[in-house]
Amino acid sequence: MTDSHSVAQAIARLYPEIAAHGINVSVADDPATASWRVVLTHGGNTLATYLERKDADDCVSGVKCVGLGVQIGRFVENYCLSKGECPT
């Protein structure tokens, strides 16, 4: 069974831009939606999104989480690159 720590580690491994830009990631089980709640933060900027269990299992197995990758890309673009707030 996949746990939140494994999901967070897989996300960090698959998306090195998170560490490169100093973005914090937290992952928590959300029983109400039967998914993982993924929160990206940097400074006062936060993005919360959900990762389906199947997608999380794929991430842990080394397969990129396409939907999550799009969200990460948008966060980096909107809050790091366009505002110059994150290290590059």
Count the Cβ atoms, other than its own, within 10 Å of residue 83. Answer: 12
pLDDT bin (cut points 50, 70, 90) of residue 50 is very high
User: If you count DSSP H runs as helices and E runs as strands, how many of each does the chain have, helices first?
Assistant: 4, 3
C-alpha angle with apex 88: 10 to 19, nearest 5 degrees?
20
Kindly report, residue by residue over 19-40, the tens digit of the pLDDT. 888 889 999 999 999 999 999 9
- Do 27 and 4 meet the contact criterion of CB atoms below 8 Å apart? yes
Kindly report, residue by residue over 63-88, the tens digit of the pLDDT. 777 788 888 888 888 877 766 666 55
- Do 85 and 23 meet the contact criterion of CB atoms below 8 Å apart? no
Amino acid at 72: I
